[in-house]
Structure 1
Amino acid sequence: MAYSCRNWVAALGLGLLALPMSAYAADKVTGDLKGSDGASHGTVEVTDAPKGVILRITATGLTPGWHGVHFHEKGACTPPTFKSAGGHVHAHDVAKPVHGLLNANANDDGDLPNIHVGPDGTATVELYSTLVSFKGDGGRPALLDADGSSVVIHAKPDDYQTQPIGGAGDRVACAVLAQ
């Protein structure tokens, strides 16, 4: 028996209705992305996932080109240098953090892939990290611990190997992640 397009859509629709819904309810936290000038330059949204987090960045007013992005250990973003954000997020039992997604000995859980800012100074990106969690699930560092954490965008791209931050340079934007 031949099915028309409408019959296939109806059959698929009924099949989708019969699928069980996930028991996992995702939590989200949103932070205002501040530039070194103290002004808002977009938002950062982090969604808790069963085995990591999804990071969405919507940015404006940045320098075009590639930029390093990292999770930082403190929920503080004081312009213009954002040093208040501390170092990269890493497991508490790490004596000396080793940076780099391309480094076989890396243990820096704050590492993320670079983002690209277009000629108009904007970027919209989603990244997934299995290296961190909201509350320390699976032994991964917690982004939402007592002092929160932050997402920092750097002036240059991360080369994923150079210590301590992949040659990513100055901190040019920062968003606090806290409950």
Structure 2
Amino acid sequence: MKKWMLFFGLVFAIVLGGCADTDDDMEETGHYSDPGIETAGNVSEDTDKVEVTMYNQEKEAVGSAIIRPVYRGVKVTLEASDLEPGTHGFHIHENGVCEAPDFKSAGGHFNPTDAKHGFDHPEGPHAGDLPNIEVDQEGNVFADAAAEMVTLDKGEENSLLKEGGTTLVIHSDADDYESQPSGDAGKRVACGVISD
């Protein structure tokens, strides 16, 4: 009987020791580590966020966006002012260049999978399609947008930090989520370069 008690006591001590190491990992890194489990959703070691300054057609700064990795894709937090009130299309574009006043240098929507535009299109959306934003009567907007099909991890086909970068663009009109190639969202009224 004493041998069994000694055996269970030893097993219990080993288990407690393992738990202590795990708690130490949690305190030091903010998450439990297990070399046998892929820790999907952790912040990239290279890039934990990207800050983007948004400029209008007169080359004046009108706001900023912060892009952070999340469990699936990235979260884009936009804060801007001096915009026309109403609903506006908001997209990630394929080139990291914002030449005013038309911002055509930003190219088309970021679309590494060659999909159709729009959340309502059966063959869409583009990886760079984002939900419309609502600008209040004072010309201000604060919005969070999820972009599940992109990443900040360099070297990936769908990375926003690809060679040459990408851009965030605000359009003059609402995106109808279906028309090709860009949702009939009108002119490009603000632009910001996404780069590391």
| TM-score, normalisation: structure 1 | 0.82
Query: What's the CA shift for 1:135?
Result: 2.7
Higher alpha-carbon deviation: 27-36 or 42-51: 42-51
Deviations 1:75-107 (A, max 9, x none): 11111101111111011x52xx41011111114
Unaligned runs of 5+ in 2: 1-22, 33-41
Amino acid in structure 2 at the alignment position of 1:83? K
User: CA separation in 2, counterparts of 1:142 and 1:52?
Assistant: 10
Q: How many pairs were matched up?
A: 159
Of residues 133, 149, 165 in structure 2, which corresponds to 1:115?
A: 133
Equivalences for 1:140-151 in 2 at 5 Å? 141-151=158-168
Unaligned runs of 5+ in 1: 1-16
Q: CA RMSD in A?
A: 2.1
Could you tell me whether the CA contact under 8 Å between 1:89 and 1:109 is conserved in 2? yes
Of residues 93, 98, 107 in structure 1, which corresponds to 2:116?
A: 98
User: CA separation in 2, counterparts of 1:65 and 1:18?
Assistant: 50
Determine the structure 1 residue equivalent to 2:82: 61
Structure number with larger C-alpha Rg: 2
Change beyond 3 A, Cα 1:126–1:53:
same
Query: What's the CA shift for 1:62?
Result: 0.3
Determine the structure 1 residue equivalent to 2:39: none
Of residues 179, 183, 189 in structure 2, which corresponds to 1:162?
A: 179
Higher alpha-carbon deviation: 24-33 or 61-70: 24-33
Greater RCO, CA 8 A, separation 6+: 1
**Does 1:25 pair with 2:34?**
no
**Partner SS state of residue 169, structure 2:** strand
Query: Percent identity among equivalent residues?
Result: 35
| TM-score, normalisation: structure 2 | 0.75
User: CA separation in 1, counterparts of 2:145 and 2:64?
Assistant: 14
Amino acid in structure 1 at the alignment position of 2:120? L
